[in-house]
A and B are shown apart, each in its own frame.
Chain A
Amino acid sequence: MMLLLLLATLAGVAGLPATAAADEVVIYSARHYGQEPAFEAFTKATGIQIKMLNGDAGQIFERLKAEGDKTPADLLLTVDAGNLWNAARAGLLAPVSSAELARNIPAHLRDPEDRWFGLTLRARTIVYNPKKVTPAELSTYEALGDPKWKSRLCLRTSSYIYNQSMLATFIRRHGEPRTEEIVRGWVANQPTLINGDTKILESIAAGQCDVGLTNSYYLARILKKEPGAPLALFWANQQTTGTHVNVSGAGVTAHAKNRANAVKLLEFLSGLPAQQMFADTSLEFPANPRAEVNAIVKAWGPFKQDELNVAAAGEFQAAATRLADRVGYK
């Protein structure tokens, strides 16, 4: 009886996946939110179907690697420049030379060897509670190590990829000794470690801490729901290096079967209509500087970004993680 049941369900499971489509592009994605409208627009404009498999960045690289030249994936889409850099280093991505991509995406948001392109921009900057802090008290990431922020700072753990990437670009910018000093300053202020940008924002609003570092779109999402929340954004390092930015982006795989379609999709995603959709759905900054940001985001005003190539996030990621371990930033 049991065996029969087993066979029946196995047959059922085997029948689950449906495949086959003529004109398509296949995506492995470690970005799971906000791209749907742009994808639909692409299919509508070109007739090319999009087939997507979501996964965790680290794991989906392993699948791509294991599948080798047999992989069905044409395009790899992921958050975090460090991930893109890592995929390129592992030989999973092939260069794309496209005048359109070069025109749409600023040089510091794409691979110098053209194997990946940033599509959306996320700024990691200072958020504060305006009831307790005035903007005049704030200036730079470094200054959050000032003793006046003792027990008033909320940070995510150093296991969080965007923190690792941020520290990695600091290392690129200032060198390890100076970065170590900066992080030591934060740690000396005994920050409350909270895993979740949204949670950090809630804690700032509730008064558990007064300042924190989060990605801009998390704040935008909260403000969209609750415009009156006691939360305000401060653009860090405007007088000096500029605010740290990271990207989500994509690259064409080394063994793409539908390479032309994948390139077409990349170009489409970098164009104005798609960039506008990204900006409005996920409340990120469009990577294409000509696209308009969403109204909520616009209220924060223009800002100067750190124009180091975001590839630094990958190059110095391991060093950043080790540095955090050394100084006891958990």
Chain B
Amino acid sequence: MVAAAIAATVALPLVVVFASWRHPAVEVWSHLWRTQLLELLVNTLLLAGGVGAGTLALGAGLAWLVVAYEFPGRRLFEWALILPLAMPAYVIGFAFLALFDFAGPLQTALRRVGGAGVTLPELRSGGGVVAMMTLVFYPYVYVLARVAFREHGRAALEVARSLGHSPRRAFVTVILPLARPSLVAGTALAMMEALADFGTVSIFGYRTLTEAVYRVWTGMFDRVAATQVASVLVLLVFAVLALEGALRGRRRFTLGGRATPLPRVVLTGARAAWAAAACGAVLLLAFVLPVVELVVWARQAPAGQLAVRGFGGLVASTFLLAAASALLVATLALVLAYARRLRPSRTAGIAVQFSSMGYALPGAVIAVGVLGPVAWVDHALAALTHGVLGSPLGLVLTGSAAAVLFAYVVRFLAVGYQATEAALGRIPPSLDEAARSLGVTMRGALRRVHLPLMRGGILSALVLIWVETIKELPATLLLRPFGLKTLAIEVWERTSESLWAEAALPALAIVGVGLVPLLLGSRIDGGRH
């Protein structure tokens, strides 16, 4: 019951989005069809596919490397490889353009040495966008895969070894399939985030459905048509997830026994150097370079920027919102995932899946979807109080922190749910049955059996939602009360005016605030071993 109520409330903004189809914008659609729809679809699919493949390969590969092997710097890389997640995609995009563009320092130097004809491949292309997003979204896969590899690792490896498999074969034939739910969850998150992205595709001039959403909205002043275009994104993601579900079928991916850490294979010589170099290269591109560029910009900013009024307040409110969002979303996700485990029905599964689709929608669309029901409640309340008390109530929810948090739930439930469900799925149902047969209640089983086993998964969920919230812009911007401002808004106010030097400091602060749970998480997590 509780779960159903949560799912229904969270699905409300999505229903609003689909309700835009009451008046199909035939004219806009036929215009799009005649001019660009095919290109938009192809570009969107290429983007999602490219980011999906890229993040899966990079995330799973790096996770396996740090879980199964020992090499110089491994302990540092293990947590540092999560860092790129704290980097908003459009910030890394802009930093790369600044560094590698025609007018950037590298190409300028190349021309000086090699003559006017020397150029690098154009970053403003499909490949460039995929590369940018892969670099900052792979940690979704990495975080979830690492937990899965670690928890399954040893038992799986022993099984495989006993069958006479080499470690590499064991990875491919046993461990990868076992980690499938986690890999799928991470990849799905990365793809949804790529689909919903507007900032990066806009800077790179790459036309996707999401870019078209804004084009129709602001260029044709037609928000209804724009919302309809956005709803196509939800259908795309729904189709992909349904396909995966069908392929996965009824197979379950659990393993008995207590999770024991994998004995690491110690790499030496060239192989150790390669492993360290691979981790180092990713970290350099996805984190170090953009941070250095931000520092360079920050130093160019007019003096006195460091003493921006209320900078501490900005950090504090960002921090507070992120903490509240992480705890709220993770709790709701856990309730939903557990309810689904207790009563596995197809309808419930689809309902929950649908309610978490907000993640695939451009943030501004979902923010307006939240605004509708929230304002409706306010107006209804006002009418009610006017009738009963004689004086109407003002706006209670619209422009309140509650509305902002509601929007976070709608946007990030997918993140919490995917991470939690993957963790829950690794616990064999036989444990539930054993607990029940010992007379433990449902809630007791959750507390005493599942939660301790899900520790890694829940921690990942908290970290991911935390970082997402810090980077969140459109919903916070639209629904916030007066006086509430986050670092992301501060960055946006400046970058929307092309003032990148002035935006660099708050952007660095975003990375800093994002680091907190990453460090904390790795600490708590590390303490277990």
Contact = CB atoms under 8 A, between A and B. Distances in A.
Interface of A: 2-3, 5-6, 9-10, 12-14, 16-19, 26, 32-33, 51, 53-60, 62-63, 66-68, 70-72, 82, 86, 157-159, 161, 164, 193-199, 202-203, 205-208, 218, 314, 317-318, 320-322, 325-326, 330
Nearest to A60: B478
Contacts of A72: 395, 399, 482
B223 A55 contact: no
A10 B324 contact: yes
Given A33-B497, A62-B368, A67 B401 contact: no
Q: Which of A51, A70, A158, A206 has the most CB of B within 10 A?
A: A70
Nearest to A197: B498
B482 A17 contact: yes
Contacts of A218: 498
B320 A16 contact: yes
Q: Which of B214, B221, B367, B382 has the most CB of A within 10 A?
A: B221
Nearest to B323: A9
By secondary structure, the B interface counts as helix
Contacts of A330: 205, 207
A164 B402 CA distance: 37
Contact of B220 (A6, A62, A67, A317): A317
B272 to A, nearest CB: 40
Nearest to A17: B481
Interface in B291-332: 317, 320-321, 323-324, 327-328, 330-331
B29 interface: no
10 contacts: A6-B324, A13-B324, A63-B479, A67-B375, A71-B395, A72-B399, A157-B205, A203-B102, A206-B108, A218-B498
Nearest to B97: A199
B162 interface: no
Contact of A62 (B36, B203, B215, B223): B223
A326 B35 contact: yes
Q: Which of A19, A59, A322 has the most CB of B within 10 A?
A: A59
A159 B157 CA distance: 53
A17 B483 CA distance: 6
B525 interface: no
B217 interface: yes
Q: Shortest 3 CB-CB distances between A and B: which pairs?
A: A206-B103, A321-B219, A66-B375
A314 B211 CA distance: 20
Contacts of B102: 203, 206, 208
Nearest to A193: B205
B482 A19 contact: yes
Contacts of B364: 56, 58-59
A159 B201 CA distance: 12
B478 A63 contact: yes
A33 B204 CA distance: 24
A314 B215 CA distance: 14
B432 interface: no
Contacts of B180: none
Contact of B484 (A10, A17, A199, A314): A17
Contacts of A206: 102-103, 108
B379 interface: yes
Contacts of A197: 498
Given A16-B401, A53-B482, A157-B205, A66 B372 contact: yes
